[in-house]
Structure 1
Amino acid sequence: MLTRLLEREAKKAPSDCKMKAKLTILLIALTSSAHANLIDLTPGAFNINEPWPQPVIQFFSHQFGNGNGFQFLAGANIKDGQVVWSPFTIFGSDNFGIILQDPANAQVSWNLTNTGGYFLQYVLLEGANGIDNLFGLRGPGFQFEGGGLVTIDGLTAIQAIIFAGPNVVPETLNTGLLLFFAVSGLLLTYKLRRRKIA
């Protein structure tokens, strides 16, 4: 009896494996096409007055670090349910949007497609008593325009939202010339060595 059951299951196995393989491929395809613009880098928030999680350390090392053009692109304070844009940043409400849904949640959006190489990398939310949250962006296409829902921890009221990222310097002809001379030098050296050997 057990032998027949095992034989019957063994006959089903090849078709089951094919179905599982098809389902796995479908699942991978759907998962890779489903994406989120904003990724919560500090789930549940963090306290700015306590030791920082690694993503926060990376954020501030970008900001104050190696001169890579990373800066605050836009920022706004939230006062009495109103968004007050900072005059001290490069961009404002023309390129960024904030729609408050309640004190603890907001819908943010950005469009940096015609800004000379600026793109968004982080969204920092500041809340009461140093309770903050940091979001990062995934994928180069979403860094120029996109949007998403942001929250600190679902309870803490948002007091400020800061958008930050670098400016990518466009490619110029000088880099191409340098590459040309480097490749030419390598080819010339190669030919000279071949002549010496022969």
Structure 2
Amino acid sequence: MRKTLFCGAALATLVLPAMAQAQSTGTVDAESDIVVSGSRAKPDVNGIQTPDTPKAKAVLTQELIERRTPGQTILDTINLVPGVNFTNSDPYGGSGGQLRIRGFDGNRISLTFDGIPLNDSGNYAIYSNQQLDPELIEQVNVNFGATDVDSPTASASGGTVNYRSVMPKDKLGATVAYSHGTNDMNRVFAKIDTGVFTSFGTKAWVSAS
């Protein structure tokens, strides 16, 4: 009886390590795949962005527009874009000037405000002394090369310049800015935001300078 008990204990001792060894060789499957995604940030040099698009394009941000000297025409700000050349006889744009993009004259450039053409309807000329106040412009898009088929100015083979206006504020308010410079330069800009005044969310602004 004692010999049989010892043999059973010895067999149990040999089996347990084998079972433990068999369990340690198992594999563990991953519960789920890990996917890492990202996108390249848009390059921004002093407020001028160059989006990664098939056509050459430059975007002037509101930050850059606000840093410019008060009273200057918005075309002086666009003049910072490589390939754009604006010549003017006075620093404030009151007497007009000439806008060129990569050598093309102004009558070959489409100038729009929120998609509305600003070129002359007859000869497509750009009146640089009749531009919007920089305070009303949120962003400027400069597209190089020929325009798209659905562009409102199909004759613009030199490029397009589109102003995007600032959005009206949700609350009633007013903005007044005064600028003084040399040679008796004085400029006053005022803008009134109506705020939301209908149940449909209608809002607007009125400005003068």
TM-score band by shorter chain is under 0.3
Q: Tell me the TM-score normalised to structure 1 length.
A: 0.26
Which has the higher relative contact order, 1 or 2, with Cα contacts under 8 A spaced 6 or more apart? Answer: 1
